[in-house]
Amino acid sequence: MFARDFTIIRFAVGAGLAGLVGLGAVACSKPNAINPADAERVRKIDATVEQIRKAYTHKDSGAFQGLFMPLESLRKMEADIRLDFTVYDQISLDFTIDRVMVEGPDVAVYFHWQGQWQARGEEQPLRERGHAVFRMVGHQNLILSAVDGDAPFGMSARRIQVERPGGR
């Protein structure tokens, strides 16, 4: 009798373990459901950030008009960007996006940047790096509403002009 009860218990425990393993396999094999609309929005955000970077490095001041909101703070930044275009012959800039936060139509893109600005007649380029946040608004067409942190634009306005001693 004891052997028969032991066999039933062993069968019940074995079936229970098999059931748990099967349940675990089903739970772990569930496909990751990503909303296609969310994925498209993230791609659009990334493309807009890349448009801003390319417009700056290719010195395309006209491209900024469609990417920036008509705000006074951004007009000043556009003026600084145009000054960069006249001061520097070559601009190289890379962005590394750290985080994207989306809340309705508002988007915040946190990123690191590093760049080189080569002025006419200077042997060494200016090298800088920093962290900034692009604040954008919109769904289909994103436009920049603010830049927080250490913006990569306006290097010519930030640069300390040093007079070089003559005659040495």
Task: Provide the greatest CA pair distance for the chain.
Answer: 111
Going residue by residue through the chain (168 aa), what tens digit of pLDDT does each one get?
555 655 666 665 565 556 656 655 555 555 667 788 888 888 999 999 999 999 999 999 888 888 998 889 899 999 999 999 999 999 999 999 999 999 989 999 999 999 999 998 888 999 999 999 999 998 878 999 999 999 999 998 776 554 445 544
CA dihedral for 150, 154, 155, 158, sign (positive or negative): negative
pTM greater than the 0.85 cutoff: no
Residue 165 backbone phi and psi in degrees, to 5 = -65, 140
Going from the N-terminus, what domains does the chain have, and what CATH number goes with each? 36-158 (3.10.450.50)
Here the tokens at position 87 are: 């001061």
- DSSP state, residue 32: -
Residue with tokens 């600005």: 117
